[in-house]
Structure 1
Amino acid sequence: MTGHHLRSIVKLFESCRYRHDLYTVFSDWCECAAISLSNAMDIRQRENREARYLDIVSRYEREVVDTFPKIMGEVVMALEAGPQDVLGATFHELELHNKARGQFFTPYALCQMMAKMQVGDDTAALIEERGYITAQEPAVGAGATIIALAEALKDAGINYQQHLHVVAVDIDPRAVHMAYLQFSLMHIPAQVIVGDTLRLEFREDWYTPAHIMGFWSGRLAADRHQRRAAIEVPTAEVPPPEIVKRAPRQVSGLPLFDFALP
């Protein structure tokens, strides 16, 4: 991301500081931007989310509301310049990560290093066998780890928009909106969930346009059914070779990404 776009985004947010709490403005912008993308594709949740959008913008003066699409434009151009955690960087530049808020996002450079370590020669082999790989992120934050994974796959000559599916969770709705927004703009097929991974409590799903356009819900369900059929064999019988070959494979690596089917 160029420094020009980051400075422009920060400046636009700070123009709202004198009338409103900047942390609230940032959170509301993330939710409104996420809703605007979701409502273009996710028909089932459109009505409730549209009502939520109107409720948020009703709290602000026209000048502030007019700033929202300008920020969106700068975020789009920043991501056009290259994969990057634009919103995570903005969050820190606005100094919203202070100790009172108690939230810090993983530096993107560190995420890049971990992603490069994870993507290897066996990744292409898995895609050749199954058609895609999956990544699971239990505490996604702003989405830096997944963005770095997409970048690493791209650098390896793999089209992540067609051969990667992501399931990401975070307990903070604002973080989910940030991740969903960036995944959507990068056309990453993903299901981003508001929930607590440790308690296994999940409340709200956000499906990226790439997930919906790629029919990933049906595709993943069909593969899960196929896997169950492959492994549900009477214990007294020896499974035929083709079933053994289709059994789930374990892939070693960092716990950050899970390349096994869900």
Structure 2
Amino acid sequence: MIKTQEAPKGLREFNKIFNSLTYRHEVVTVFDDLLTIIICCLGRGTNEPLYFDTIKRYNPDELQQFAQLFAELCIYYEKEINASGWADPLGTYYELLAGKYKKSRLGQYFTPAAVCTLMAELTVGQEWGQTMNEPCCGSGRIVLAANHKTKGNYYVCEDLDPICCKMTAINLCMHEIRGEVHCHNALTRKDWRFSYAINYEYWKHKTKTVFMYKPS
């Protein structure tokens, strides 16, 4: 459990709600299920079987708390993107959990935000409309920094960790970035688990979406 003073100021209400869900459920399960529920919501009715399979372990009050968590994230995204250009609340909170539960599946740490910004400044040009690859995407924050430097590119993100792929998909979606996320081994292109199309045809309908699909 993360103490209130340990959580970033903008995520303290989120942390309070999250902690309340971990009294009856394991931390890893709650975080992973939150990501799945958000993706199902962003799927606009296309992932209903997955959604109902995910929520069946929770009671009505807990489902309301999941809705509140999503609302808190939306507020955080809007505020921080307007203030700083990009935000990675999921990756930030994930790292806090990883520090508390090192023996669990939450065992990763990501490139610091300042380093991501520097890498974007050094590597991303001014041309837009390019297709760019991130073969070990983590929470997707390097892509977020690159998109802040030059908008309008298309990103192909890959990672072996399902939680990382879900965080990346949500982050790209909330930043109105077009791309795709593949959960597989980026070196061998094997061990495929799932793929997401992010903000497909966003230019046409201005609706943030995450659609699951199987590449041909």
Q: TM-score range by the shorter chain?
A: 0.7 to 0.9
Deviation beyond 6 Å, 4+ runs, structure 1: none
Q: 123, 126, 138: which one pairs with 1:141? A: 138
Q: Residue 95 of structure 2 contacts residue 108 of structure 2 at CA under 8 Å; is this kept in 1?
A: no
Letter in 2 for 1:74: E
Measured after TM superposition, the shift of residue 3 of structure 1 is: 3.7
* CA distance in structure 2 between the aligned counterparts of 1:10 and 1:39, rounded to whole angstroms: 26
> What is the root-mean-square deviation in Å for CA atoms of aligned residues?
2.0
Letter in 1 for 2:97: L
Q: Residue 191 of structure 1 contacts residue 206 of structure 1 at CA under 8 Å; is this kept in 2?
A: yes
Q: How many residues matched?
A: 190
Letter in 2 for 1:87: L
Q: 80, 90, 112: which one pairs with 2:117? A: 112
Measured after TM superposition, the shift of residue 57 of structure 1 is: 0.5
> Equivalent residue for 1:93?
96
> Equivalent residue for 2:186?
197
> Equivalent residue for 2:171?
182
Q: 1:97 to 1:139 in 2, by over 3 A?
A: farther
Gapped regions of structure 1 (runs ≥ 5): 41-45, 154-159, 216-262
* CA distance in structure 2 between the aligned counterparts of 1:8 and 1:146, rounded to whole angstroms: 27
Q: Residue 98 of structure 2 contacts residue 109 of structure 2 at CA under 8 Å; is this kept in 1?
A: no
> Equivalent residue for 1:165?
154
Gapped regions of structure 2 (runs ≥ 5): 1-6, 205-216
Measured after TM superposition, the shift of residue 214 of structure 1 is: 4.2
| Counterpart check, 1:212 vs 2:215 | no
Measured after TM superposition, the shift of residue 50 of structure 1 is: 1.1
Q: 34, 38, 50: which one pairs with 1:33? A: 38
Letter in 1 for 2:49: A
Classify the secondary structure of the residue corresponding to 2:184. strand
Q: 1:96 to 1:180 in 2, by over 3 A?
A: farther
Please show how residues 70-81 of structure 1 align to structure 2 within 5 Å.
Answer: 70-81=68-79
TM-score, normalization by structure 1: 0.67
Classify the secondary structure of the residue corresponding to 1:136. strand
> Equivalent residue for 1:240?
none
Measured after TM superposition, the shift of residue 96 of structure 1 is: 5.8
Q: Residue 38 of structure 1 contacts residue 206 of structure 1 at CA under 8 Å; is this kept in 2?
A: no
Letter in 2 for 1:64: E
TM-score, normalization by structure 2: 0.81
